[in-house]
Structure 1
């Protein structure tokens, strides 16, 4: 079963990577200096979300999507090391990739009342991060940590910046409905592109792009 899941995730990542490369590289080139790459802010979650994101990144032209900054929640004890390992694997350097720690909007099992305060703190961290980094594109694939980062990206546009472009890739395990994060982004129309794995999702959410069923 685990090998089948790994195969499905790999195929999914390949399809998503092709769509992202075809649809984002050309439009972004109009708004950036052609002598540098597409400055990319990658939001990492934990567990499966992080693994999926690295699978996607492995299939992207990393010399184009660079330099890279990884946004990681403060209570995430594993993703930073995974990001460093990934960069060593692909031959990155510290000058081309860095890690930024931000507050987590909501912990698993946290009450909705208390999460309002932590979400506000996370939003402040995210605004500071996006303002400092000025990325061309923000990539995320599901964790709640990406919500304040995407909202911060919208705020950047509100003060006159054309970028960053925002891309949300729904998790491979979402076969019948979008995740809570996906629903927020979809209904609030706060990302430029939403990619889904399963055709059923593209039928239920017609503004989402179906990137191929991994079977």
Structure 2
């Protein structure tokens, strides 16, 4: 996907990145559920083989998304002749449907702690997410890794196509947090100046 490539090249270490652009770039993609899964898999299907290994993060209880990831990778292997260099990692959900805010907070803290060793192992150069609350712990640890200089992780958040007038809760939380917030409706870019608009992506 050219947008990920473009954002990756425009980071402060641009000159170094240009020298190694043909080398693999580890990417973590946070896969939500339902529409989020469909949109994320469309984004991932557009990436070249340079984005490898591909780490998919899904919630423990989301077996449907896990199966869809396997199907996507099988198709990529057949159509694009990509190597199956991908892994699926399962993490606790931050919040289940109808769960109270207090217990959701506890679950979120647990999920953040759970993601620490995972992100150290993945060492992602790019974190790609598009809306599910599951991405908050991943993005937080990714930011911390960059802050301490462990790995120069770039966080790219693509807002769901369903969001026309306002950012989702996840988008608002990541607004001053992610390196790039990409929206798919011009109205959102007008309302949120830090956002980037390139038309419809999914």
TM-score normalized with structure 2 length: 0.89
Q: Give SS of 2:88's match.
A: strand
| 2:186 counterpart residue number | 199
Please list the CA deviations of residues 117-163 of structure 1 after superposition, one character each: whole Å capped at 9, or x if unmatched.
10011001111211111011000000000001000111112322241
1:81 to 67, 71, 79: 67
Q: Distance in 2 between matches of 1:58 and 1:144?
A: 22
Contact 2:123–2:151 (CA<8 Å) still a contact in 1?
no
Deviates further, 30-39 or 64-73: 30-39
| 1:170 counterpart residue number | 159
| 2:111 counterpart residue number | 122
* Gapped regions of structure 2 (runs ≥ 5): none
Q: Distance in 2 between matches of 1:86 and 1:68?
A: 12
RMSD in angstroms over aligned alpha carbons?
A: 2.0
Q: CA deviation at 1:108?
A: 2.0
Alignment length (residue pairs) = 194
What are the residue-to-residue correspondences of 1:130-169 with 2, within 5 Å?
130-169=119-158
What are the residue-to-residue correspondences of 1:62-77 with 2, within 5 Å?
63-77=49-63
Q: Distance in 1 between matches of 2:157 and 2:124?
A: 15
| 1:97 counterpart residue number | 86
Q: Distance in 1 between matches of 2:106 and 2:89?
A: 21
Q: CA deviation at 1:60?
A: 2.0
Q: Distance in 1 between matches of 2:18 and 2:6?
A: 17
TM-score normalized with structure 1 length: 0.84
Q: Does 1:190 align with 2:174?
A: no
* Gapped regions of structure 1 (runs ≥ 5): 1-16
| 2:38 counterpart residue number | 51
Q: Give SS of 2:63's match.
A: coil
